[in-house]
């Protein structure tokens, strides 16, 4: 499948990121074997999902680092130990993602927001932890968007 994807791409700028989830199903050695096959098939990036220890992260880096870009997936509460991006770079990883972290942070904030609203019957006690109306519009660039929209409304 990796060879087919590499052969089928129309532009060199399209990256083929080869992911294996074999650690969870078949174990670490099987995942490493797959990663070797992916590299031999022409993958641009290796993504060995869910290493379970610093030892496994180190082995991945020593085995593939410097020969092909490696992707590390940092998920709070996942099986891979959370490491600083610089530390992962030192191990040989060149891409580090922290997917879903913002959703977990927003969910916790939402729980705290609703608890405060329930307790106080108002958002006032929570106001220092949120944008006011104008502050949010500033972050979103609402005024700029409205001005840009005028060029399409016929009302100049």
* CA dist., res. 32 & res. 57, Å (int): 11
Closest CA to 88 of 80, 77, 79: 80
Name the DSSP class of 70: B
What are 96-121's pLDDT values in tens digits? 999 999 999 999 999 999 999 999 99
pLDDT at 1: 94
What percent of the chain has pLDDT above 90?
95
Task: Give kind and range of the element (H or E) at residue 96.
Answer: strand 95-97
Mean of the pLDDT values across residues 151-155?
78
pLDDT at 155 over 70: no
Q: How far apart are CA 69 and CA 95, in angstroms?
A: 7
Distance CA 49, CA 53 (A): 12
pTM: 0.82
pLDDT computed for residue 153 by the predictor? 82
């Amino acid at each position: 499948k990796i060879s087919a994807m590499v052969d089928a791409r129309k532009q060199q700028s399209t990256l083929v990121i080869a992911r294996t989830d074999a650690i969870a199903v078949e174990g670490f050695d099987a995942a490493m074997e797959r990663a070797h096959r992916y590299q031999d098939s022409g993958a641009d990036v290796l993504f060995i999902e869910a290493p379970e220890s610093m030892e496994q992260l180190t082995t991945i880096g020593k085995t593939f680092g410097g020969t092909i870009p490696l992707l590390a997936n940092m998920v709070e509460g996942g099986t891979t130990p959370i490491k600083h991006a610089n530390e992962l770079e030192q191990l040989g990883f060149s891409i580090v993602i922290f997917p879903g972290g913002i959703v977990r942070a927003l969910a916790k904030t939402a729980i705290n927001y609703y608890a405060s609203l329930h307790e106080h019957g108002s958002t006032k006690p929570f106001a220092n932890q949120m944008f006011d109306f104008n502050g949010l519009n500033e972050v979103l660039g609402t005024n700029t968007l409205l001005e840009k929209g005028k060029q399409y409304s016929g009302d100049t």
